[in-house]
Structures are given as structure tokens and as C-alpha cells.
Amino acid sequence: MKKNKKRNKIVLSILFFGPLIFYLFLLTGTNNFAKLPVLTKNVADVKNLNSDVIITLDQHITILCFLGDDLLQHKTNALNLNEKIYKHFYGFKDFQFVVVLPKGAEEEAKQLKKELSVTTNVDKWFFVFGTKEQVNEVFNSLKTTYALDDYLYTPNVFIVDREMSLRGRNEDNDQPDGFLYGYNAESVATVHQEMVDDVKVVMAEYRLALKKNKREI
């Protein structure tokens, strides 16, 4: 009888403290809950690019990717991101993945989305298509030290917040100038060790802002 009571207390403790521990987990990481720095404001929106539905960066936490006109050659990037980022944060409201592609890559995008859907609900994976000039316009608005290659591809992916600002690190010891604008999706270690942590921080900021707004209403 005593064992059952003890077991019940343990279960109740887990139910009560579990969500709190998970929330605190979101607040932790190498950033120690310092807000993830804003590196660039006014990132260009993608709402005017072609897509099945109108996609916007505004009021969304977006993982922004540029996979080029031969995206199946770089599908490992998407698979890495899907496993390490998308599946963990999929449940958060207003979270999305946006892949910016040149026109002509529509069929490959359908194929990639089909492959991702084998293990994942892909309703927050979006593909948008534009001219070379439009793709470059979105990329250049990030104002990074990176460049797209001739196929409009970069291994780097970017965190864009609800105010359409690029988030990243400004004191990264591994970068010559200290600025980490994006995360190399070709590297599982980079995605797992750096990007996951930074997305957690942005998500925690968002949740705290929601709670603050509710208190002020």
C-alpha cells in the first residue's frame, strides 16, 4: 500500500514538473538564455514568389533554405534538418521551413517533399519559386558574408524571426569575424550542436513574449 502511494506521488510529480522542466530545457543552452542576436533586419519576404499557397516570413519563425536548381543533389541537407530541427519544433505555432528555389525546380521539390513525408508530417515544409533575380534578392537581403553558387545553392540555412530579422551569433569563436549568420546543413554536427540550441532560444523568447503579452492584456 505504501509503495503504491509512493508510486502515485512520483507519477504526480512527473506530471506536475515535467512541463516545467521541458520549458526550462528550452531556455538553456550555450547561449544561457541570452537573446539570440539580431544580425540583419528587414529580410525580404517571399510572399510574391510562386507557390501552391501564399507563404510569408512575417509573423513566423522560419528556417530559410536555398537548395538550388538541382535540389535532389542536396537532399541530405533537407533530411538532416528534418531529423534534427523540424521534427523537434514542428509542434510550435507559426514555425515553418521555407525553401527558396529557382523556377523549374517544381518537380524535384515535389519529389523531395514526398521523400520527407515518409517519416514526417510535412505540412510546415514550404517550397517557393522565383526567377534568378528574385532568389538572389531574398538571399542578398540577409546581408551575410556567404554567397549562392551558380546553381543558386548554399549549404547554409538561416533562422528568421517573426519580425523578419535574421538571427545568429555575433561572438562565435569559430568565425573569423565572430559572426555566424547561418548553419551548414551539410554538417550533422553543426545542425545538432549549434543550430538546435539557437532555435531553442528563439522559441523560448517567443513563448516568454506571449506570456508577457497575456499578462499585460
Rounded Cα distance between 216 and 58, Å, is 23
Determine the topology of domain 31-216 in CATH: Glutaredoxin (3.40.30)
Q: What is the pLDDT of residue 215?
A: 54
Q: What is the pLDDT of residue 4?
A: 55
Q: What is the pLDDT of residue 28?
A: 47
Only one residue has cell 533554405, namely 65
Write out pLDDT tens, residues 31-52: 444 689 999 999 999 999 999 8
Sequence spans of domains, the chain: 1-30, 31-216
Q: What is the pLDDT of residue 24?
A: 47
In degrees and rounded to multiples of 5, residue 45 shows phi and psi of -75, 165
Return the closest-CA partner of residue 28 out of 151, 176, 200, 209. Answer: 200
Beta bridge pairs of residue 100: 66, 128
The grid coordinates of residue 95 equal 514555425
Write out pLDDT tens, residues 172-216: 988 889 999 999 999 999 999 899 999 999 999 988 877 666 555
Rounded Cα distance between 179 and 171, Å, is 6
The grid coordinates of residue 26 equal 528550452
Amino acid at 76: T
Query: Mean pLDDT in the chain?
Result: 87
> What is the pTM assigned to this prediction?
0.83
pLDDT of residue 27 exceeding 70, the answer is no
Q: What is the pLDDT of residue 217?
A: 47
Write out pLDDT tens, residues 123-163: 999 999 999 999 999 999 999 999 999 999 999 999 999 99
pLDDT of residue 3 exceeding 80, the answer is no
Burial of 65-79, coded b for 16+ CB within 10 Å and e otherwise, reads: bbbbbebbebbebbb
The grid coordinates of residue 216 equal 499585460
pLDDT band at 29 (very low <50, low <70, confident <90, very high): very low
Contact predicate 126/55, CB 8 Å: yes
Q: What is the DSSP letter of 180?
A: B
Q: What is the pLDDT of residue 17?
A: 47
pLDDT band at 23 (very low <50, low <70, confident <90, very high): very low
